[in-house]
A and B are shown apart, each in its own frame.
Chain A
Amino acid sequence: MLSDRTVRNLSDAFLRAAHATLVRQAGDQCAIAPASAAWAESKCGGGILLMTISSFTFRLITMFQVADGEPTRHYYTAGAAGKTLDETFSEFANMCCGALGRELYAQFPHIGMSIPYLLEWQCARHLRDLNPRMLSSYDITIQGTARVKATLAVCCERPLEFDPPVREAAQAGGELELL
């Protein structure tokens, strides 16, 4: 259903989006490591933030969980008085999915994006009930202290090929930082 190349391209597009948007300032260090689905389903914060990008024949579901510790809270909520960590982070998740959507748009002009929705963390383990053809989870650490769990699930009933145009930045800068 999904070729290895498509899986790699979708992962890369998601990681580029995460790298570019989950930091408060360009230049903040962002380390991303692949993680197991079981790890992604465990509790580390208040809830999970769900967002969907849909096209006619496929949908991408992204799931984020921000760690409930002080370093993560401080990183994302500094300067956002009166907002909870989940509220503040939903804006970052929105930007991340927007960036991923733009990458997809180059090949799939008919796509749309949902708004974020917060669910209890225990819902995460049921993501596989949606029968995703691809399920990738990542442990994201920003500035060495703020932690985010991110998962990308791809659901489709028809073969999907994703070959984004080659990016100049990727060519110049080489591989994405994967620690």
Chain B
Amino acid sequence: MPILSVLIFFPMLAALLVLPLDKDRPERIKAVALAVAVSEFLLSLPLWSSFDKTTHLMQFVERHRWIEPWNVQYALGVDGISVLFVLLTTLLTVLCVLVSWRSVTEKPKEFFVALLFLEGTIVGVFCALDLFLFYIFWEAMLIPMFLIIGVWGGPRRLYATVKFFLYTLVGSLLMLVGIIVLYRAGGNTFDILALAENQYPIRLQLVLFWAFFAAFAVKVPMWPVHTWLPDAHTEAPTAGSVILAGILIKMGAYGFLRFSMPLFPNATRMMMEPMMILSIIGIIYGGLICISQSDIKRLIAYSSVSHMGFVTLGLFSLNTQGVEGGILQMINHGIVTGALFLAIGIVYERTHSRAIADYGGLASVMPVFAGFFMLFTLAAIGLPGTNGFVGEFLVLLGAFSSRSWAAVFAATGLIIGAWYMLWLYQRVFFNPPNPGLQGIAAINGREIVVLVPLAALILVIGFVPNLLLDYMHVSVAHLLARIPQAEPAATGPLHALAALLP
């Protein structure tokens, strides 16, 4: 069975099946959507069980000729770097369907169609082995995301969507130019594996590195191109925020891993320090700015900037601990921030407020929910025993090994993170109870079903991270073997820019 094609197109085709359903019977629409999402998740499980952890080669490969004149292929495959993201996508989509059960009341049919379409395109991004195909998925994904925020979002959704769209489009266009140049330079092929066989001149590598960087940095988002994220998150419906934080922004970091690092290894080595510096600025800036936020979702959105700073810091440490920690932290962030947004969605349905000031004493009213949120908070601040610790520790260790100053600055994020998360927790769950919250319903069974899998993953990865790390070792080792260990004579940012000049 061509499992990857199935995973990409099954939700899209199934979405088409949802379309003719009677829009006045939303229960049936939801049931079908849930059935599709769950089936998709079950279908993706063989990726976990049949994956060969001993090879760096692509697995579950499908390769067909597609657009002959341009040598475009329909090529899919996963390795130890991408396989976990496919699984994360299929899991989070199920939870998104569940959490949208009550909150999406307008045009439910269109919503679930968009959500399922989104799922297919995201899986496509992580599986594509052909640059052309990759680019199609990369851009196609924007459309359902655009709709989800723009139609089902909050009051300022139009501003947020246009900003999101333009930001990512500008980045993507630069990458498109880069892709075309690479196509010519690499012998008229879009095949990622074939392209990686070549050694490109350093100046070309640098130009292409920055062209791809434009697209990936916006998606991550790295400082200073992060300002679309708070708006998009704040306005997006819960499911939109979850997908956005959980998966979509991982694509940027994935792009670095799949393209920038293997295709432009020398440029990557030269750009190591500038990338680390940008990451550290993101960690500290994103963390500090959280302290003064008054909107819960905006706070979590900015915290993503900080956490993704850890991810890119790890990746550009260019050693095993850093890269594996970075990949693990991508997954962790998907789980934890996904869980935080789901939890916020659960409470928002009851209070219809995102303002921190409207809360207080929630732990007395919703004790079980408070317990879940505490666990998510602890994972976000990297407490040992949660997944967040393993990722952060590996990233910091990787950074320390390659540039000790980077770890020193980045580790301040541990202090800042504890500050804003625990302060948030206190203002929402502790303190004297807010009278406005009296009598709101405790968490129900469906909501517990949504939160339990993520809570379990937080602890399981926290105590047995090797379950995931084992998938990465060989692929990461292969990736790092491509990157020159010897450092170029001067790697400062100015030198790198000078190399770009004619």
A and B together in one complex: no
Which residues of A approach B to under 8 Å, CB–CB?
none
